[in-house]
Amino acid sequence: MEQKIAEILAELCGVEPEEIQPELELFEEGLLDSFAAIQLVMELEEAFGVSLDMASLPRERIATPAAIAALIREKQA
């Protein structure tokens, strides 16, 4: 799962998957903005078969790859 998340983030952010570390602060590092966050959520929904409501999804839930992985695990449970 973490590898797939890294691949999605790398594609969205224009970096290599190896640059996506679990605790990388995506917003603070300027890799994600609100528009890219919407794209990210759509990609995650498609890749992992989960439903994520952007309106009620706090930014910190998608602030790092590790947080994204925890969110996906929670939604798949």
Residue 46 CB contacts under 8 Å (≥ 6 apart), including other chains = none
CATH number for the domain spanning 9: value is 1.10.1200.10
Binned at pLDDT 50, 70 and 90, residue 55 comes out as confident
Predicted model pTM: 0.93
Q: Which of 39, 50, 46 is nearest to 11 (CA)?
A: 39
Domain that holds residue 57: 2-76
Is the per-residue pLDDT at 56 higher than 90? no
Binned at pLDDT 50, 70 and 90, residue 77 comes out as confident
Encode pLDDT of 6-30 as tens digits: 999 999 999 999 999 999 999 999 9
Q: Which tokens is 59 given?
A: 């930014």
Q: What is the mean pLDDT of residues 23-51?
A: 95
Domains identified in the chain, total number: 1
Q: What is the pLDDT of residue 30?
A: 95
